[in-house]
A = this chain, B = another copy of it.
Amino acid sequence: MKTKKPHLLGVPLEYQLDQAGEQSPPTALEKELMRLILKGLGDPAIGVTLWDGEPLSPTQKGPTMVVRERAALWRLLTHPTLHFGDDYSTGRIEIEGGLLAFLGRAYDAFYSRPKSVVALQRIADAYRRVRGNPLDQARDNIHHHYDIGNDFYRLWLDEDMVYTCAYFAPGVETLEAAQEAKMEHVCRKLRLTRGETVVEAGCGWGSLARYMARHYGVKVRAFNISHEQIAYARDRAKAEGLDGLVEYVEDDYRNISRNISRNIGRDRYDVFVSVGMLEHVGVKHYRELGAIINNTLKPDGRGLIHTIGQNQPIGTNAWVYQRIFPGGYTPTLREMMDIFEPYDLSVLDVENLRLHYARTLEHWQQRFENQLDTVRAMYDESFVRAWRLYLVGSIVNFTGGYLQLFQVLFSRPRANTLPVTRDDIYRRDDDESV
Contact = CB atoms under 8 A, between A and B. Distances in A.
A169 B311 contact: no
B346 A349 contact: no
A420 B311 contact: no
A31 to B, nearest CB: 33
A356 B420 contact: yes
Contact of A416 (B168, B170, B355, B412): B355
Interface string A387-407: 000000000000111101000
A180 to B, nearest CB: 15
A331 to B, nearest CB: 11
> How many chain copies?
2
B347 A333 contact: yes
A170 to B, nearest CB: 5
Contacts of A346: 311, 352, 354, 401, 404
A422 interface: yes
A350 interface: yes
A108 B333 CA distance: 29
A352 B348 contact: yes
B334 A337 contact: yes
Given A333-B337, A334-B334, A351-B349, A421 B344 contact: no
Contact of A423 (B169, B337, B413): B169
Contact of A341 (B312, B344, B352, B414): B312
Contacts of A311: 340-341, 344-347, 413
A2 interface: no
A140 B168 CA distance: 50
Interface string A23-36: 00000000000000
B416 A399 contact: yes
Contacts of A356: 420
A412 B311 CA distance: 11
A426 interface: yes
B170 A423 contact: yes
Contacts of A401: 346, 412-414, 416
A422 B426 contact: yes
Nearest to A424: B170
Contacts of A295: none
Contact of A170 (B168, B170, B337, B421): B421
A332 interface: yes
15 contacts: A311-B340, A311-B341, A311-B347, A311-B413, A332-B337, A332-B341, A334-B337, A346-B401, A347-B350, A350-B350, A351-B422, A400-B413, A422-B426, A425-B426, A426-B426
